[in-house]
């Protein structure tokens, strides 16, 4: 009898010890148990906030804006070319016409070009904004080069300059100068027109800074594929301040 009591007692002790180990292992396997501290938490129990470099963030944001502007420009030019091509096909024009539009910068170093927008017959064909990039350093650049429907067309130009100067002229950096201009031209069927939009300063050195920026147009019409100049004319339009 005593042997049975001793045996049952030993069995109870073994079950107690073994069961405790099993329960302990089960608790460690169950996710979310407080047996181990959570990672990524501060001593106070809150999530540690990452450190943000304001300068790096601003640089990345500016780069992203410039990429978006470049993509917008490509989209605008592609849409306009497709629209003009579709209009040409729908009207059954066989010979068609060609147009080359060039922006030429003859402004002095006191004015830095930072924004350009061109629209042909109300449709935007060129748009670029560049505060510190190469836009203000280019002597000229191509705005449009492609097919165009023969007939009358209207070109709208919007330019924005930032004052640029050093030393006693450093105050110019706080100034913005805007130019708005429009020009109507005609392209005969089977011809090619080259239109140069020239940005220049009018009035001479005695004119107020805000009245100097202006635009004039130089137009040349040639026969398609012949390279012979048929007509050349220059015209200067009024400027409307925004």
Contacts of 184 (CB under 8 A, 6+ apart): 152, 153, 154, 155
pLDDT at 156 exceeding the cut of 80:
yes
Considering only CA atoms, which of 174, 238, 158 is closest in space to residue 209?
Answer: 174
* pLDDT at res. 169: 56
What Å distances lie between residue 144 and 85, 126, 133, CA to CA?
14, 8, 21
203: pLDDT confidence band, cut at 50, 70 and 90?
confident
241: pLDDT confidence band, cut at 50, 70 and 90?
very low
96 vs 2 pLDDT, higher one: 96
Q: What's the burial of 179, exposed, middle or buried (CB within 10 Å: 0-12/13-18/19+)? A: buried
pLDDT at 220 exceeding the cut of 50:
yes
Most confident of 58-67, 161-170, 179-188: 179-188
Q: What secondary structure letter does DSSP report for 47?
A: B
* pLDDT at res. 157: 97
* pLDDT at res. 104: 97
Strand pairing category for 111-120 and 151-163:
antiparallel
Report the alpha-carbon distance of residue 95 to residue 232 in Å, rounded.
21
Three-state SS at 229: strand
pLDDT at 120 exceeding the cut of 90:
yes
**Mean pLDDT of all residues in the chain?**
74
Report the alpha-carbon distance of residue 106 to residue 197 in Å, rounded.
10
What's the pLDDT tens digit per position in 36-76? Answer: 444 444 444 555 555 657 777 778 887 888 888 888 877 87
Here the tokens at position 14 are 């073994």
What's the pLDDT tens digit per position in 8-20? Answer: 444 444 444 444 4
pLDDT at 24 exceeding the cut of 60:
no
Phi, psi of 214 (to 5 degrees): -150, 175
Considering only CA atoms, which of 144, 153, 147 is closest in space to residue 77?
Answer: 144
Here the tokens at position 65 are 């804006």
129 vs 34 pLDDT, higher one: 129
Say what the pTM is. Answer: 0.56
What's the pLDDT tens digit per position in 127-148? Answer: 999 887 788 889 999 999 999 9
230: pLDDT confidence band, cut at 50, 70 and 90?
very low
* pLDDT at res. 61: 82
Whether residue 146 contacts residue 195, with contact meaning beta carbons closer than 8 Å, is answered with no
């Amino acid at each position: 009898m005593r042997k049975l009591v001793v045996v049952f007692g030993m069995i109870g002790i073994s079950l107690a010890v073994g069961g405790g180990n099993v329960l302990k292992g089960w608790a460690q396997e169950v996710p979310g148990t407080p047996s181990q501290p959570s990672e990524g938490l501060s001593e106070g129990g809150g999530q540690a906030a990452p450190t943000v470099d304001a300068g790096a963030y601003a640089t990345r944001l500016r780069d992203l804006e410039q990429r978006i502007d470049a993509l917008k420009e490509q989209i605008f030019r592609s849409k306009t070319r497709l629209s003009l091509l579709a209009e040409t096909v729908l009207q059954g024009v066989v010979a068609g016409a060609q147009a080359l539009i060039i922006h030429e910068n003859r402004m002095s170093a006191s004015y830095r070009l930072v924004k350009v927008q061109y629209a042909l017959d109300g449709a935007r064909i060129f748009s670029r904004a560049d505060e510190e990039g190469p836009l203000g350093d280019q002597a000229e650049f191509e705005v449009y080069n492609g097919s165009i429907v023969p007939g009358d067309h209207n070109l709208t130009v919007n330019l924005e300059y930032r004052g640029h100067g050093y030393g006693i002229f450093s105050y110019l950096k706080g100034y913005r100068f805007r130019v708005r201009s429009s020009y109507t031209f005609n392209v005969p069927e089977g011809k090619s027109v080259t239109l140069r939009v020239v940005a220049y300063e009018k009035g001479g050195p005695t004119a107020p800074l805000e009245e100097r920026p202006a635009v004039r147009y130089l137009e040349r019409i040639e026969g398609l594929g012949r390279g012979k100049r048929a007509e050349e004319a220059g015209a200067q339009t009024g400027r409307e301040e925004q």
